[in-house]
Amino acid sequence: MLYDASNPLEYMESLALDWRKEKLQELREIILKQDSAIQETINYKMLCFKLNNSVLFHLNAQRGYVSLYCGNTKKIDPTGGLLAGLNIGKGCIRFTKTKVISNTRIEEFIQQAIFLFKEGNDIGC
């Protein structure tokens, strides 16, 4: 789903008060706490997280899940250990209603992605 919002606050306010908003907010907080230099914007009608004016992640609430668009998951987690048990698509990780984010290793995955990005590694698709 695409949301017509000009900034992150409008985006968050446009979401229905349901599980998707809760999961999106939880993922958003995990990303933003990693580095005070991460900027949150809107890009492609989704939440966008940038570091040094380069895109790190996109986050969006879909009808049946919340998507974290993260580039090539294999470049970030070659063994798949950090993403075990998660629904992974091409360049995205999907969180459904029943997935408990705190029971996953997504925070470690996000930390690894940011570390690789800062080291100059290509983590994109």
Structural domains of the chain, with CATH: 8-118 (3.90.1150.200)
Contact 1, 20 (CB under 8 A): no
pLDDT, tens digit, 9 for 90 and up, residues 14-34: 998 899 999 999 999 999 999
In the numeric block, the tokens 């966008």 are attached to 48
Contact 58, 45 (CB under 8 A): no
pLDDT, tens digit, 9 for 90 and up, residues 47-80: 999 999 999 999 999 999 999 999 999 999 999 9
Amino acid, res. 91: G
Whole-model pTM: value is 0.93
CA atoms within 13 A on the CB side of 24: 27
Residues in the chain: 125
66: helix, strand or coil: strand
Which of 109, 17, 8 has its CA nearest to residue 59?
A: 8
Which of 36, 55, 42, 38 has its CA nearest to residue 7?
A: 42
Contact 48, 3 (CB under 8 A): no
* pLDDT value, residue 50: 97
Going along 1-125, which residue ranges are E strands?
39-43, 46-51, 54-61, 66-69, 87-89, 92-95
Q: Would you state the structure tokens that stand for residue 125, as one six-digit string? A: 């698709």
